[in-house]
Structure 1
């Protein structure tokens, strides 16, 4: 403790000087924002209680990183991050009997988790870790002081701390000023930071999407120069960062950064591949620009919470176009069956990124269905076609409505109005048929037991074939009464040589 105490004795002056410098350099940050962390302590006594327990045990404790950043931005949640000079065994001893629950899943990285009064607390020993530069896995070494711990963090806006229970503010790398200026900068050089963990390049784009901040030129230059280092990061870690980026308040900014810096080429090359493909609907922009507009439209239509499945489907809906591009004798560009190719590519890419099977299946289904609506306005759809549209979409129908509407990006106002009117008419027609026929539960008019009894056959593939035939008839004709359904089943059975 002596070395740590000596270091901390020097910190208040440096901390006060840093805070004064930050205040003078950050006129855009309001008093209310500067006081947000202190207000957090007032309304959340749990942090102070924990700080006093650490102090009584002879250790220091600091609210740190994203928790401080989010408190200053007025968006703090129920997850609080702390750092300390106490080692994991010490932390466990301190929180024993006070925490309602503890977990040690991050123990190898010096992190102990605890829960108290609805708050999730993660307490991590000061780090001075390095990376092996091959796998990019951290080699954890415990540090001895707060300032060194803050230096190893990804960005300056995440390198601020507030002590508990003392509430002194530590900002050695100008994070407060960068927060006010809305910029993303690293505590050390960008190359050092990204060399330690290349995932931080993806995180920079994610923060740009989440917070609307601007990546500093030297940070961007390092992202471009070191993009290939992302290959050493596991698919799961990349997936998690990308998901957060796509669910950001401004995913378009983050996606552009990924493409422009060459990061997308390392894990989502289909996105960059859209950039040179001219969209047949509007030749003033390429498919890449069209796709970003569709994502933006989907964000607007999705509702109060991020709908990752809808956003991902919007992002991937046209990835089949490069492989299906053709130019006719009249010079017109076409992309026939690009939705089929796109669905296959989407499945392959999301599997490679280790997304769960249920998430993949929903995104793939939406990509495969996104063109189904076009042509409806020509009056060619029968009630049977509407039933099939609803049945094929299933539970994804509300998302398919939003995706289809998002895909209308034409600047031709007359055409845009007509498409919107046509889809309004389709939704009204669906609602009418649903009310009459309960389309959400389209199924054959006879179940498996009735089929076996009527045909006199045991369970097996034949029953499934008969069931599927009856479902096709249900979609084609609408509901049938019992006598009609039995007559249709017997007619089909005769064609199969089953009944006389």
Structure 2
């Protein structure tokens, strides 16, 4: 009985290597995911053949080959719809200052596997088209670790993380994605070596952090980052929230509250993981520690923490090299997340509701989810009252949207009409008139054409 299924394309390729006197092995995450019955489009192979021999073996069989990674022993190829990577056995050495190895090719599969990040990724299976003769290679106990969900390293974790500190973030990412538990020695090494993460570029750190956030168990991954001190080198604002008691006095700290909010936001996702929503939920209260004040009555306040927090979020996400649209959207959600609490018992005017929708723009549905998730009080009566208030606000929004197409609020006169009525050329003055009419539209709702013209002429009499 076969331990795992081997794709036909891998069997064909393995036969070519076998005929040439070389072995070909499916390796790493490809094997791990196959054993977990997780769908994976990645097919990674290792072989004793050198790069120039690999190119000779696949010549005439591969539709396309590329050698951009050949200095690291990797040849890429495409066969039909399949994309494959084949890497010569490696026995690299690292300088301890960067994560760039001094590439040295190895001679044994076991020597190649020991340099991999974790035992669950250090398994290999020989590929060719003869099922009964395929060899499963697991010298470091990866299958046993996979069975119990333990994350350990083939070599000592100190050696592994010294070679590539990014592996510490990968450990937290696998905790989030796969629900693994790191071995005690792995956690100890991550804690002792957290500072080594500074050797890694911000782009690579961000990529791993994003994968962690998008995993099935992001809270577990984040808690590992915080507990080991790695978070101080990725998002220091998150562990800093452990110092602040929230204003409801219902949580030990704002950090725990934020993790709960993130989990509640995830429960509201409808079309798969939403990076912007998850970041906003995690970071919505990062402005609390610097705005924490003890009031005369003994309560703790965090006045304007949404404003401070939005600035902090923008700075941190830029530093992590997130795309501009992610930075802007997360910062705007953080800035707006408290706006609802001014709604009170529903006494907002229509103009206030319009401004709420207009300021949220395309983020409105995410804002709904974030605000609802931000209710973590254990007081059931208070929680129910907050949800009823937000239901009321959403109903108001729906009614206004039906009445006046709230999603596309525009002044009652466009720029061309303004220039015609005032007999002025394009320029800043048109923009100022446009903003005035937009403000009037927000406050009073739609105007009849003659009323809009009257408002414009009244404004022009004072400003022209």
TM-score by length of 2: 0.96
Contact 1:67/1:76 (8 A) holds in 2:
no
> C-alpha offsets along residues 216-273 of structure 1, whole Å, 9 cap, x if unaligned?
1111100111111111111111100100111110001110110010000112110110
Separation (CA, whole Å) in 2 of partners of 1:90 and 1:164: 18
Aligned to 2:184: 217
Contact 1:183/1:213 (8 A) holds in 2:
yes
Aligned to 2:399: 432
CA-atom RMSD in angstroms: 1.6
Q: 1:113 to 1:440 in 2, by over 3 A?
A: farther
Aligned to 1:15: none
Give the alignment partner of residue 160 of structure 1, picking from 98, 114, 123: 123
Contact 2:95/2:101 (8 A) holds in 1:
yes
Residue 368 of structure 1 pairs with residue 331 of structure 2: no
- 2:413 is paired with a residue whose SS is coil
Aligned to 1:28: none
Separation (CA, whole Å) in 2 of partners of 1:475 and 1:95: 66
Aligned to 2:95: 132
Give the alignment partner of residue 114 of structure 1, picking from 77, 87, 91: 77
Contact 2:294/2:301 (8 A) holds in 1:
yes
> C-alpha offsets along residues 390-426 of structure 1, whole Å, 9 cap, x if unaligned?
1111111111111111111100001111111111111
Aligned to 1:66: 29
Per mean C-alpha deviation after superposition, the further-off stretch among 74-83 and 353-362 is 74-83
Give the alignment partner of residue 201 of structure 1, picking from 168, 181, 188: 168
Q: 1:282 to 1:112 in 2, by over 3 A?
A: farther
Unaligned runs of 5+ in 1: 1-30
Aligned to 2:462: 495
Aligned to 1:402: 369
Give the alignment partner of residue 151 of structure 1, picking from 114, 136, 141: 114
> By how many angstroms is 1:86 displaced?
2.6
Aligned to 1:17: none
Q: 1:186 to 1:393 in 2, by over 3 A?
A: same
Aligned to 1:353: 320
Aligned to 1:479: 446
Aligned to 2:10: 47
Separation (CA, whole Å) in 2 of partners of 1:105 and 1:294: 44
- 1:444 is paired with a residue whose SS is coil
Contact 2:346/2:393 (8 A) holds in 1:
no
Contact 2:251/2:257 (8 A) holds in 1:
no
Residue 282 of structure 1 pairs with residue 245 of structure 2: no
Give the alignment partner of residue 183 of structure 1, picking from 131, 140, 150: 150
> C-alpha offsets along residues 275-324 of structure 1, whole Å, 9 cap, x if unaligned?
01001123342101001101111111112411011000111100000110
- 1:336 is paired with a residue whose SS is coil
Per mean C-alpha deviation after superposition, the further-off stretch among 206-215 and 476-485 is 476-485
1:294-443 aligned at under 5 Å gives the runs: 294-443=261-410
Separation (CA, whole Å) in 2 of partners of 1:92 and 1:480: 72
- 1:459 is paired with a residue whose SS is coil
Q: 1:472 to 1:108 in 2, by over 3 A?
A: farther
Contact 2:277/2:370 (8 A) holds in 1:
yes
Per mean C-alpha deviation after superposition, the further-off stretch among 305-314 and 135-144 is 135-144
Aligned to 2:53: 90
Aligned to 2:417: 450
Per mean C-alpha deviation after superposition, the further-off stretch among 154-163 and 116-125 is 116-125
Contact 1:210/1:245 (8 A) holds in 2:
yes
Q: 1:381 to 1:92 in 2, by over 3 A?
A: farther
- 2:249 is paired with a residue whose SS is coil
Unaligned runs of 5+ in 2: none
Separation (CA, whole Å) in 1 of partners of 2:370 and 2:53: 52
> By how many angstroms is 1:107 displaced?
3.1
Contact 1:205/1:245 (8 A) holds in 2:
yes
> By how many angstroms is 1:57 displaced?
3.2
Contact 1:133/1:196 (8 A) holds in 2:
yes
Contact 2:337/2:370 (8 A) holds in 1:
yes
Aligned to 1:463: 430
Number of residue pairs the alignment of both structures matches? 460
TM-score by length of 1: 0.89
Separation (CA, whole Å) in 2 of partners of 1:354 and 1:434: 37
> C-alpha offsets along residues 79-103 of structure 1, whole Å, 9 cap, x if unaligned?
2111122333333343344334444
- 1:319 is paired with a residue whose SS is coil
Separation (CA, whole Å) in 1 of partners of 2:66 and 2:452: 59
Contact 2:346/2:392 (8 A) holds in 1:
no
Q: 1:491 to 1:103 in 2, by over 3 A?
A: farther
> C-alpha offsets along residues 89-125 of structure 1, whole Å, 9 cap, x if unaligned?
3333433443344444433322222233433322222
